[in-house]
Structure 1
Amino acid sequence: MGLDIVAAFFLFGAVAQLLGAPIKMPKGLYQSLTLFLLIAIGLKGGIALSKYASLSLLWQSMAVVAFGAILPLIAFPILWKIGGLSRVDSASVAAHYGSVSVATFAVALAVLEANDVAYEPYFALFVALLEVPAIAVGLFLARGAGVGKDLKKLSHEMFLNQGVLLLIGSILIGWLGAGQTSKLMPFFGTLFHGVLALFLLEMGRQAASRIGLILKFGSFIASFAVLMPLIGAALGAALASVLGLSIGGTVLLATLGASASYIAVPAALANALPEANQSLSITASLSITFPFNVLVGIPLYMALLSL
């Protein structure tokens, strides 16, 4: 399977940046594209939820939440004991890798649809659920028993950051207003792939702009940023098999397990864990893991799971 046409825009942006001819995208436009993707994915998931809500989905959701809590527990000792990072930095990076990248998920959706591979349409619910547990576990790993001292503030950062709020809100709107969403979907549905292409163009530029930081942080973090996605993908695929998901659903859960947040978690931890080196976490997730998943990981998961 060749490079997906939408993912090619990521490569385009990265190459332009490396050649010293970066494509300038207004900050407001980039933020608008992010909002669009979050709302579009949430609405689509909410519409599906109105059709497929069941006790079985409840059990699947609980398993996905547990999955999101386990991933940072796996990443933390690797970063702390093997990588030699501080406890706070290890917890911060682990939280990023326990959470998910909505953009990576959007690319996986685009690839599945381009190849006519069916998947469970309520997956947006799992994306929203996976944003929160990793943040909670990461803060606990960093603070220990002291994490409960300012529970109100921490709860606000976990549940009311922009990514989580927009996803959950859009899912609820799609679920409760499923009969009226035909008014919105010509915009949020038809334009999805085009908006994703523009978003990835900027992501390619941002990822390439951090090449120098990758060299600064050394080979361990670069190796971790490739190894951890493979561990997460394997565990995600195994969980999907236990849950009886389709091949497309298995690819999506593997992709979610392999992805790392660079939007929701940084926003939450910037206030809750200010002493952590956010540049380290974002460089690993955005400049290494995101390109790896878009260019190598998703095609690899598709190929392996289609055998």
Structure 2
Amino acid sequence: MTLDIVVAFFVLGAVGRLLKADLVFPAGLHQSLTVFLMLAIGLKGGEALAQHGSAELLLQGVGVVLMGVVLTLLAFPLLRWFGEFSRLDAASIAAHYGSVSVGTYAVAVAFLETRGIEYEAYFPLFVALLEVPAIVVGILLAKGSAESFRWRPVLAEISRSQGLFLMVGGLLVGALAADQVGAIGPLFKDLFKGVLALFLLDMGVLAASRFADLKTHGAFVVAFGVAVPLLGAALGGVLGGVMQLSAGGVVMLAVLGASSSYIAVPAAMRSALPDANHGLAITASLGVTFPFNVMIGIPLYCAFILWFMS
């Protein structure tokens, strides 16, 4: 099977970092690429939301939120019992894995569209819904209860999250002005894969820079960073079947279940749990899970689900 072209850019960035090539993105470019992808995904979902909004979609959204909660609750004891992490570190990492990676989702979108596999276009709504529940559950796991905890700073951090704001904002703009989104389609639709390729080139550099951090807890972090995505993909696939999604939709929900956050959750966890070792969470999410999903996981989930549903 040939390597997907956008994934090839991720490999290029990682190899460049490992070979110590002078591969440095201009200041602010990563931020610009992230803003573009968030808005593009949100707008596309908003268009679909305007066409498919229904009570059934609301129920599906509840199911997706519950999936994020369950994944966080499953990851926490694995980290505590087998990884022997502190309560704070285990809660922080678990929250990352109960949330979602927009970058991984964007790669899955490109992967399915390249192969002509259709899926429900309102999935950006699910991406936005998965950002918050894991953060709340992670904080409760770390503190043991909600009593005497200062929620206001954390809620403020979540509300200021660039990714969440742009995703939800794009959804609203796309839904309220669905008939006009085509006017900006040449920018947000036609250039999507090109921008994603640049984003993955930078992400390859960032992911490879985390490999050195695997010296501490390395074997467990690698095992956890691969096993939990497989568990999440299975849970997402089963939920997608229960929700009677299309084959492409089941693949997308499996990808969401398998992904882990490296943007929204780290910011919220730094505010809520300042004493946790946040480097561990980023190393697992960005150094192990993201490369695994992009290079192996997404093709694997897709092949298995399409075979099973056929």
Which TM-score tier does this pair reach, normalised by the shorter chain? over 0.9
1:5-154 aligned at under 5 Å gives the runs 5-146=5-146, 149-154=149-154
TM-aligned CA deviation for residue 157 of structure 1: 2.3
Between the aligned partners of 2:240 and 2:297, the Cα distance in structure 1 is 17
TM-aligned CA deviation for residue 297 of structure 1: 0.1
* Code of the aligned partner of 2:165: L
Moved over 6 A (4+): none
Between the aligned partners of 1:241 and 1:40, the Cα distance in structure 2 is 27
TM-aligned CA deviation for residue 148 of structure 1: 5.8
Provide TM-score, normalisation by structure 2.
0.97
TM-aligned CA deviation for residue 146 of structure 1: 4.0
SS in 1 for 2:6: coil
Between the aligned partners of 1:156 and 1:170, the Cα distance in structure 2 is 20
Note if contact 1:46-1:173 (Cα within 8 Å) is conserved in structure 2.
Answer: yes
Q: How far does the alpha carbon of each residue in 1:120-174 deviate from its partner, in whole angstroms, 9 at most, with x for none?
A: 0000000000001000000110112246632222222233311111111110111
Between the aligned partners of 1:254 and 1:22, the Cα distance in structure 2 is 36
* Code of the aligned partner of 1:57: L
* Code of the aligned partner of 1:177: A
Percent of aligned positions with the same letter in both sequences? Answer: 55
Note if contact 1:139-1:147 (Cα within 8 Å) is conserved in structure 2.
Answer: no
Note if contact 1:136-1:158 (Cα within 8 Å) is conserved in structure 2.
Answer: no
C-alpha change, 1:147 and 1:164, in structure 2 (3 Å) is: farther
Tell me what 1:292 maps to. Answer: 292
Between the aligned partners of 1:154 and 1:39, the Cα distance in structure 2 is 24
Between the aligned partners of 1:266 and 1:298, the Cα distance in structure 2 is 23
- Count of aligned pairs between the two proteins: 307
Provide TM-score, normalisation by structure 1.
0.98
Note if contact 2:260-2:285 (Cα within 8 Å) is conserved in structure 1.
Answer: yes
Between the aligned partners of 1:145 and 1:55, the Cα distance in structure 2 is 33
1:246-285 aligned at under 5 Å gives the runs 246-285=246-285
Q: How far does the alpha carbon of each residue in 1:7-43 deviate from its partner, in whole angstroms, 9 at most, with x for none?
A: 1100000011111114110130111001100010000
* Code of the aligned partner of 2:103: A
Tell me what 1:155 maps to. Answer: 155
SS in 2 for 1:131: coil
Between the aligned partners of 1:61 and 1:253, the Cα distance in structure 2 is 11
C-alpha change, 1:165 and 1:152, in structure 2 (3 Å) is: same
* Code of the aligned partner of 1:256: L
Between the aligned partners of 1:186 and 1:262, the Cα distance in structure 2 is 29
TM-aligned CA deviation for residue 217 of structure 1: 2.8
Tell me what 2:204 maps to. Answer: 204
SS in 2 for 1:116: coil
Note if contact 2:241-2:250 (Cα within 8 Å) is conserved in structure 1.
Answer: yes
* Code of the aligned partner of 1:262: Y
Note if contact 1:225-1:289 (Cα within 8 Å) is conserved in structure 2.
Answer: yes
Tell me what 2:238 maps to. Answer: 238
Note if contact 2:153-2:271 (Cα within 8 Å) is conserved in structure 1.
Answer: no
**Gapped runs of 5+ residues in structure 2?**
none
> Does 1:306 find its partner at 2:298?
no
Between the aligned partners of 2:167 and 2:147, the Cα distance in structure 1 is 26
SS in 2 for 1:7: helix
SS in 2 for 1:306: helix
Root-mean-square deviation (CA), in Å?
1.1
Note if contact 1:22-1:205 (Cα within 8 Å) is conserved in structure 2.
Answer: no
Note if contact 2:105-2:255 (Cα within 8 Å) is conserved in structure 1.
Answer: yes
**Gapped runs of 5+ residues in structure 1?**
none
* Code of the aligned partner of 2:51: K
Note if contact 1:157-1:268 (Cα within 8 Å) is conserved in structure 2.
Answer: yes
Between the aligned partners of 1:250 and 1:22, the Cα distance in structure 2 is 40
Between the aligned partners of 1:22 and 1:240, the Cα distance in structure 2 is 43
Between the aligned partners of 1:196 and 1:147, the Cα distance in structure 2 is 42
